[in-house]
Amino acid sequence: MKNFLKNPSDINRIEYWAATTMFVFSIFFLVSSSVNILEYGHDIELFKEAEQHYSYFNNYFLPALVRYITFYGSYLLLSFIVVPSLTRKENITLNVIITLAIFYFISVVLAITDTWLKGYLFSKFTQDELYAKLFQESTIFSFWLLMMFALYNIIKYLAVYLLENSELIQAKYRVITRDGIYAFIVWMIGLFLLLMGQVESDFVLTFASCSLAGIFLYCYSMYFLLPGSQRAAKPFRTYLKNFFGVTLLSSLPIFVFLLVLASNGNKEISIITALFNIGFQLLFTAPLSWYIYKHRITVDYEIKGLQTALGRSTADLNFLRSQINPHFLFNILNALYGTSLQENAERTSEGIQKLGDMMRFMLHENLQEKIFLNREIEYLNNYIALQSLRTQSSPDIAITTEIEEHLGILQIAPMILIPFVENAFKHGLSLKERSNIRISLTTKDKTLYFDISNSMHEKPANDPERDNNGIGLLNVRQRLRLIYPTRHELSIRDSGKEFFVHLTIKLD
């Protein structure tokens, strides 16, 4: 809808083809009707009774054709030249004069064609009287067309405005729903069609009041009644009771409105419409609002679940891609190779075993939604031990860990902590400067407390990891929001020389 409304020429194109289609069909039916002149026997009889000569071509076909061409040409001129200029506030006086001239021309064409279409009236009126009567009727009808055309443009531009700004309107006035805006547009179009069809005024008033009340009750129910009733023991009964009360209140202004405007002061139409409004709202608007609200909750819940699952899968996939990258494996293998040359095979085998345990963890347990906390701690210890292999020969690097051994049954999302540790080793170590990493992990009353800090160093320009941060902290923030939306607190502070992370999670 937004893309449709961004291009006004699309709306103009639809209007043009709709008007052209109606014009072509009118001409088609006009021409096809000439095959069977007997269809217009009633007009022939009127001319015969008035003892006037009747010619199908002069007394029907040609006047009707002139009318169709006049209406079609006037509509195109007004809709695509005059009205757009008025909306842009260009040559307002000139365009107003052109508009009045067009509708005056329409009244003249109608009056002239009526002298042929209603030629049988010459037997009842003098020529001057008939001309005056037909011109007066055509002027009144032309003025009515002007009002209908103005109403049509008001509805069109108001509908476009409402659709373009529906999100802003809904954000400012939360009681106004998008469905309510669509319903109001349909209401305006329906009212316009009834007026164009010159339907009886009492029916128009009944339609306008009851349907508008239905739109109000729908919006009010979606914003107030339905959400409030869901907390009750019997939601539907509570909702229906409250809806009935609001419907009774809405029927009062309808009764007064119709009592004032109904034709001939007819009080019966006011009472009947008010009662009809109550029945219509209870039997149609109330259950429709309930169904749409329930359906919307179900759809929103499913969408939220899909978004959560998709976000979690994406985050986990990105995380898997970022971990144990070739650069890390290259460093570890180099460290293992150097160790094997300097010492016996015991430390080498130990390092390879830890690396194998980590790979096994990533291939199997990382695919689960939750794992035991002790398995996550084991993975952290293996990672830290492997990283320490290549730093233990440097006296300026200090790695301090206080990781509590956990034997309970607490569970945690796999690899939710490792990004912080990896980030600390990636950015906190330097073989040329004094570096330190401190890691602390404890649990208390099913709450995990995780703290990590590291020194900060600028990486050399030739470091392949200089601009490669993987998914980093952005991904872990996303995973925490998805998995522990209201059960975690994350604080990150960067002083320029040191980086601090404090994380608490309420575990299962």
CA distance 287 to 279: 12
Q: In terms of Cα–Cα distance, which of 358, 360, 363, 400 is closest to 379?
A: 358
Quickly list DSSP for 94-108: HHHHHHHHHHHHHHH
pLDDT at 128 over 90: no
Average pLDDT over residues 283-304: 84
Say what the pLDDT of residue 93 is.
92
Say what the pLDDT of residue 180 is.
72
Average pLDDT over residues 424-430: 83
CA distance 307 to 302: 9
Question: Quick one: how many helices (H) and strands (E) in the chain?
Answer: 20, 7
Cβ(420)–Cβ(450) under 8 Å? Answer: yes
pLDDT at 314 over 80: no
Average pLDDT over residues 14-34: 77
Say what the pLDDT of residue 466 is.
56
pLDDT at 463 over 70: no
pLDDT at 3 over 50: no
Location of structure tokens 């293998």: 333
Location of structure tokens 């979606």: 222
pLDDT at 227 over 70: yes
pLDDT at 2 over 60: no
pLDDT at 234 over 50: yes
**Residues with Cβ < 8 Å from 238, sequence gap 6 or more?**
229, 232
Q: In terms of Cα–Cα distance, which of 74, 59, 159 is closest to 116?
A: 59
pLDDT at 312 over 70: no
pLDDT at 8 over 70: no
3-class SS string, 328-386: HHHHHHHHHHHHHHHCCHHHHHHHHHHHHHHHHHHHCHHHCCCEEHHHHHHHHHHHHHH
Average the pLDDT over each of 183-187, 233-237, 346-350 and give the range with the smallest value: 346-350
CA distance 304 to 195: 45
pLDDT at 186 over 80: no
Say what the pLDDT of residue 488 is.
92
Average pLDDT over residues 224-244: 87
Top-confidence residue, 61 or 505: 505
- Token pair recorded at residue 466: 């200089």
Top-confidence residue, 189 or 278: 278
pLDDT confidence tier of residue 470, bands split at 50, 70 and 90? very low
Q: In terms of Cα–Cα distance, which of 322, 352, 317 is closest to 418?
A: 322
Average the pLDDT over each of 161-175, 214-228, 369-383 and give the range with the smallest value: 161-175
For 383, half-sphere exposure in the C-beta direction (CA atoms, 13 angstrom radius) is 28
- Token pair recorded at residue 299: 């759809």
CA distance 403 to 381: 8
pLDDT at 111 over 80: yes
Say what the pLDDT of residue 453 is.
92
Furthest C-alpha separation in the chain: 130
What is the identity of the amino acid at 235?
Answer: P
- Token pair recorded at residue 165: 């700004």
Say what the pLDDT of residue 475 is.
78
SS3 210: helix
Top-confidence residue, 498 or 173: 498
Average pLDDT over residues 153-177: 72
Cβ(198)–Cβ(182) under 8 Å? Answer: no
Average pLDDT over residues 14-27: 79
The mean pLDDT of the chain is 78
Average pLDDT over residues 211-225: 84
- Token pair recorded at residue 471: 């998914």
Say what the pLDDT of residue 37 is.
47
CA distance 84 to 64: 29
CA distance 379 to 386: 11
Q: In terms of Cα–Cα distance, which of 130, 112, 124 is closest to 64?
A: 112
CA distance 437 to 451: 11
Say what the pLDDT of residue 84 is.
87
Percent of all residues in the chain with a pLDDT value above 90, rounded to a whole number: 11
pLDDT at 122 over 80: yes
pLDDT at 95 over 50: yes
CA angle 435, 436, 439 (to 5 degrees): 155
Location of structure tokens 């209603």: 118
CA distance 504 to 499: 17
pLDDT at 487 over 70: yes
Say what the pLDDT of residue 194 is.
65
Burial state string for 309-324 with b = 16 or more CB within 10 A and e = fewer than 16: eeebeebbebbeebbb
pLDDT at 105 over 90: yes
Where are the alpha helices (H) located in 34-165, listed in sequence order? Answer: 41-49, 56, 62-77, 83-87, 92-117, 127-164
pTM, rounded to two decimals: 0.45
Say if strands 411-412 and 371-372 run parallel, antiparallel, or are unpaired. Answer: antiparallel
Say what the pLDDT of residue 481 is.
85
Compute and round to an integer the Cα radius of gyration of the chain: 40
Q: Is 224 left (phi over 0), alpha (psi -120 to 50) or beta?
A: alpha
Cβ(106)–Cβ(74) under 8 Å? Answer: yes
pLDDT confidence tier of residue 310, bands split at 50, 70 and 90? low
Say what the pLDDT of residue 40 is.
45
Question: Is residue 417 exposed (0-12), middle (13-18) or buried (19+ Cβ within 10 Å)?
Answer: buried
Q: What is the dihedral of CA 119, 123, 127, 128, to 10 degrees?
A: -110
pLDDT at 7 over 50: no
pLDDT tens string 339-379: 665 666 666 666 666 766 676 676 566 667 788 898 888 88
Top-confidence residue, 136 or 320: 136
pLDDT tens string 386-413: 888 777 777 788 889 999 887 678 899 8
Average pLDDT over residues 148-175: 74
Where in 409-457 does DSSP place strands (E)? 411-412, 435-444, 447-455
pLDDT at 1 over 50: no
Top-confidence residue, 457 or 62: 62
- Token pair recorded at residue 176: 């106004």
Say if strands 411-412 and 447-455 run parallel, antiparallel, or are unpaired. Answer: unpaired
